[in-house]
Chain A
Amino acid sequence: AQRVTQPEKLLSVFKGAPVELKCNYSYSGSPELFWYVQYSRQRLQLLLRHISRESIKGFTADLNKGETSFHLKKPFAQEEDSAMYYCALRSSDKLIFGTGTRLQVFP
């Protein structure tokens, strides 16, 4: 079955601390993975996609096919990073989302 798992509902860190939001997936074939972010009172928006190998707002994510993971990382968290983060897997032009992780960054 195709599935995305985000094991942490809430991750709390202090400003300047490293952040790692975990994402594991189940998919037969070559996966295409994304991270979406939803800031307070804003719409869901794309943060990054693995295929582009980009860094957005200091966040990076590496696809690890051996561990079936796509963890989101940032070396130094900022208060403005506080938001809901969703990992998503593309399947036949639709997205399968995880349940999301709320990141709280304290000053």
Chain B
Amino acid sequence: DAGVTQSPTHLIKTRGQQVTLRCSPKSGHDTVSWYQQALGQGPQFIFQYYEEEERQRGNFPDRFSGHQFPNYSSELNVNALLLGDSALYLCASSPEVGTPIFGYTFGSGTRLTVV
């Protein structure tokens, strides 16, 4: 089992551009959450997808959007990139919402640099 896989591993974009990050969850997991980890900070929750719908969202602007596909994989899109969007973006998958033992499996992340 490859666990959670994210692509690409690194990305450099220019201010104002748009970016799409991808995530494949661990086998058997159907819920995908995205986190942003700025340098020197802990991961911050962006949003969570379950059954192809956004289930909950953190305090991020509408420039951040996502999608979940029928195979449970997910994309994170960021429009109109700002320098402050430079961060490590983490994807985490988990079993069905409400499973008694709560547990995330994290991917290695995508390092986004906005110049």
Q: Which A residues fall within an 8 A CB radius of B?
A: 4, 6, 9, 32, 42-46, 49, 86, 88, 90, 92-100
Contact = CB atoms under 8 A, between A and B. Distances in A.
Interface in B42-95: 42-45, 48, 55-56, 58, 90, 94
A100 B42 contact: yes
Given A88-B42, A99-B40, 6 more contacts: A6-B42, A42-B108, A43-B107, A93-B97, A96-B45, A99-B42
Contacts of B102: 32, 49, 90, 93
Contacts of B109: 43
Q: Is the interface of B mostly helix, strand, loop or mixed?
A: loop
Interface residues of B, number: 25
Contacts of B40: 9, 99
A93 B48 contact: yes
Task: Name the residue in A6, A43, A45, A97 with the highest tally of chain B Cβ atoms < 10 Å from its Cβ.
Answer: A43
